[in-house]
């Protein structure tokens, strides 16, 4: 279970690595090289100092939770990289970036050679291209003084982030099933303002080094790592919020005889389906959140006896159980961030496509797309996990049963999507994607709706 990890052996990723590497090497060797004499201690001290500062900054790498399955991280290494462009003539900033990337990723962080090579190459590429744009727009380079050309510096920052985030987004897309658009959106996240504000520290870093040399770098180390701490707090807050939601869901599932992890699996299936539909990343996240919380209303004590009941529910008990989407939506709505789309998807996740569902009797496209996705994802998990009254179905058998109800209970387009979805197969695992078993038909009554429902 869990979203697929990046596969760096894919030809698409290897091709991207070659392309980025060749572009970086071309920029490096097509530059006009000037190697200062050893007696020029100011240059060489600066080169060593900025390289070490880059390695220290990049070694303190922080994972990005918005795209954790792709193992993407962030650091404040762009600040010394930007400052190096202001001080060192090309291609020396590229050499600093290349040395930083190789040492930080391969030696310090012990990444495999392929990943370290890609990160090193893309560091060199965005520093090299940024430096070219900066000097082309009249930006001053040198150890004599910092003459800030704000247009050139703004262009430098823009190229840095576009090339850096763009190449990483391409790498994520090439090594996973995440689209370039979604990967880029998740990498950028809400950190754009932090990045722009933090970039101005590069000017201060260059100025202090010119005035105070190594002491100047030491003066700015504290603000530099304060910026990293801000990033870390933001990332921890995102992770803590997600973990709190999952903890709450686990507490609720402890009262339900369903297999443990039901809501987490439904969220993963729903995320995968929403992603394959090409929905915007924020909408994908909202659907996954709604899927995670779709049964939180069952925490109410009214449902406890029904969840523990071994036999079938009476008509009165079924009516009570059908209130859980409304209870779940109301509970989720107590959190401001979940009001609106998330709350609506939770409320309507038991609406049937033909209008026979509950609580509002919505029909077809009138049912929010997120709710329709959760309905299908919920059913997939219900049918492919063991239940007291039957063994888990294979994916093939589950799809056959879903086809019987397409157009009545399920959105036919979503059933078709799941049929062709490689990511759903990966999430389920080979034990369920393989040979189907002989199982009872879905026409047998379920605990909630009788013969018209494939899942609760």
Two tokens, residue 331: 């509970």
Residue 184 pLDDT > 90: no
Name the CATH superfamily housing domain 254-433.
Hypothetical protein af1432 (1.10.3210.10)
pLDDT digits (tens, 9 = 90+) for 226-245: 666 666 666 666 666 666 67
pLDDT digits (tens, 9 = 90+) for 304-356: 777 777 677 888 888 888 888 999 999 888 888 888 999 999 999 999 999 99
According to DSSP, the residues that pair with 406 across neighbouring strands are 410
pLDDT digits (tens, 9 = 90+) for 42-70: 889 889 989 998 898 888 766 665 565 55
Domain boundaries, the chain: 11-235, 254-433
pLDDT digits (tens, 9 = 90+) for 367-408: 999 999 999 999 988 888 876 666 778 878 888 888 888 999
According to DSSP, the residues that pair with 446 across neighbouring strands are 450
Instruction: Report pTM.
Output: 0.66
Query: Position of tokens 């003066």?
Result: 219
Phi, psi of 446 (to 5 degrees): -95, 175
Two tokens, residue 128: 């090299």
C-alpha–C-alpha distance, residues 242 and 427, integer Å: 20
Which of 64-78, 100-114, 148-162 has the weakest average pLDDT?
64-78
pLDDT digits (tens, 9 = 90+) for 93-140: 999 999 999 999 999 988 889 989 999 999 999 999 999 999 999 999
Of 346, 408, 411, 335, which Cα lies nearest the Cα of 376? 411
What distances in angstroms separate CA 398 from CA 92, 384, 415, one per listed residue? 60, 7, 11
Which CATH code, of 2.60.40.420, 3.40.50.2300, 1.10.1760.20, 1.10.3470.10, is assigned to 11-235? Answer: 1.10.1760.20
SS3 294: coil
Of 391, 381, 378, which Cα lies nearest the Cα of 345? 378
């Amino acid at each position: 279970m869990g979203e697929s990890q990046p596969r760096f052996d894919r030809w698409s990723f290897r091709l991207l690595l070659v392309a980025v590497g060749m572009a970086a090497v071309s920029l490096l060797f097509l530059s006009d090289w000037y190697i200062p004499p050893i007696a020029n201690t100011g240059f060489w001290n600066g080169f060593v100092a900025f390289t070490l500062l880059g390695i220290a900054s990049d070694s303190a790498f922080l994972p990005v939770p918005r795209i954790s399955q792709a193992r993407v991280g962030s650091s404040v290494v762009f600040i010394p990289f930007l400052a190096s462009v202001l001080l060192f003539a090309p291609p020396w900033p590229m050499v600093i970036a290349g040395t930083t990337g190789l040492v930080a990723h391969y030696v310090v962080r012990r990444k495999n050679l392929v990943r370290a090579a890609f990160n090193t190459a893309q560091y060199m590429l965005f520093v090299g291209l940024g430096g070219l744009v900066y000097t082309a727009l009249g930006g001053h380079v040198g150890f004599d003084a910092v003459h800030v050309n704000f247009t050139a510096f703004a262009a430098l920052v823009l190229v840095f982030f576009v090339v850096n985030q763009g190449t990483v987004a391409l790498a994520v897309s090439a090594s996973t099933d995440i689209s370039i658009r979604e990967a880029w959106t998740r990498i950028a996240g809400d950190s754009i303002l932090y990045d722009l504000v933090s970039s101005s520290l590069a000017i201060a870093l260059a100025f202090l080094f010119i005035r105070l040399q190594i002491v100047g770098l030491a003066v700015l180390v504290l603000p530099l790592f304060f910026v990293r701490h801000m990033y870390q707090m933001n990332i921890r807050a995102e992770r803590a919020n997600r973990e709190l939601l999952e903890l709450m869901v686990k507490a609720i599932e402890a009262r339900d005889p369903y297999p443990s992890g039901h809501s987490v699996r439904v969220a993963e299936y729903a995320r995968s389906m929403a992603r394959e539909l090409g929905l915007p990343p924020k909408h994908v996240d909202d659907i996954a959140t709604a899927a995670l919380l779709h049964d939180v209303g069952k925490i109410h004590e009214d449902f406890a006896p029904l969840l523990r009941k071994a036999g079938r529910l009476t008509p009165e008990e079924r009516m009570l159980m059908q209130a859980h989407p409304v209870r779940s939506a109301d509970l989720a709505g107590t959190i401001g961030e979940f009001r609106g789309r998330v709350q609506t998807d939770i409320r309507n996740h038991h609406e049937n496509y033909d209008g026979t569902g509950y609580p509002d009797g919505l029909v077809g496209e009138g049912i929010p797309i997120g709710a329709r996705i959760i309905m299908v994802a919920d059913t997939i998990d219900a049918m492919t996990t063991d239940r007291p009254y039957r063994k888990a179905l294979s994916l093939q058998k589950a799809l056959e049963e879903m086809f019987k109800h397409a157009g009545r209970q399920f959105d036919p387009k979503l059933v078709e999507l799941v049929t062709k979805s490689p990511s759903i197969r990966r999430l389920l695992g080979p034990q369920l994607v393989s040979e189907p078993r002989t199982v009872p038909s879905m026409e047998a009554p379920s605990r909630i709706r009788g013969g018209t429902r494939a899942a609760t």
